[in-house]
Amino acid sequence: MRGRVTLGLNLEISSDGNLVILDGQKQIVWSINLSSSVANRSAVLLDTGNLVLQDDSNNTKYVWESFQHASDYWLEKMKITGLGMNEKNILTSWTSPDDPTPGSFTMTIEPSNVPQSFVWKDGDPFWRSGPWNGSIFTGIPDMSSEDGYGVKVVSDSPETAYAIYTHPYPSFLFHYFLNS
């Protein structure tokens, strides 16, 4: 039986109000790098899985949220957008199951005239879902219009689109995952 390895990482709110991860030597290994300095903040993990940093003087105002910075998991109510969008939020695979650095694969929703989902490999198209017809992606054979896997694509204009999903059974924990 193997022993458990402890990395000694700590999640903290720094004196300038940024959410940071510190290593065992108290060196910053990751930060959200907000430019505004506010000391009165708290981090909250919502029931949705969204980790938010909120301004404690206004509990309804999030100054940062993990759902706007997707990694390799797509969680319920998280918006996935496209590469060319102003507020892009794309899935990115890890390099390998043991290496969390950004890998070769990304998943986006591309608006064009009719939105489609793409998986890209090193920036080149690797797979596409087919067009969104208002209920399903037409290129996914098992996707039925009855449930559409809970996926909904919103396209406000030809230049913008995002995908979001809600699982039809709220008691289930469900996610999509882009692996290496």
- The model's pTM: 0.80
Q: In terms of domains, do 87 and 59 share one? A: no
* 1 occurs within a structural domain: no
Domain span at 22: 10-67
- Detail the DSSP E strand segments found in the chain: 10-13, 19-22, 28-31, 41-45, 51-55, 62-65, 73-75, 91-96, 99-110, 116-121, 124-131, 151-157, 160-165, 175-177
Coil, strand or helix at 16:
coil
* 128 occurs within a structural domain: yes
Comparing C-alpha atoms, which of 33, 31, 37, 25 is closest to residue 11?
31
Q: In terms of domains, do 32 and 118 share one? A: no
Q: How far apart (Å, rounded) are the C-alpha atoms in residues 13 and 32?
A: 10
The CATH number that applies at residue 49 is 2.90.10.10
Q: In terms of domains, do 125 and 79 share one? A: yes
- pLDDT of the chain along its 180 residues, tens only? 444 445 678 999 998 888 999 988 999 998 998 887 777 889 999 988 899 999 888 766 888 999 999 999 999 889 998 876 677 899 999 999 888 899 999 999 988 788 999 999 999 999 999 999 988 999 998 887 766 568 889 887 777 888 988 877 777 777 889 999
Q: In terms of domains, do 106 and 160 share one? A: yes
* 152 occurs within a structural domain: yes
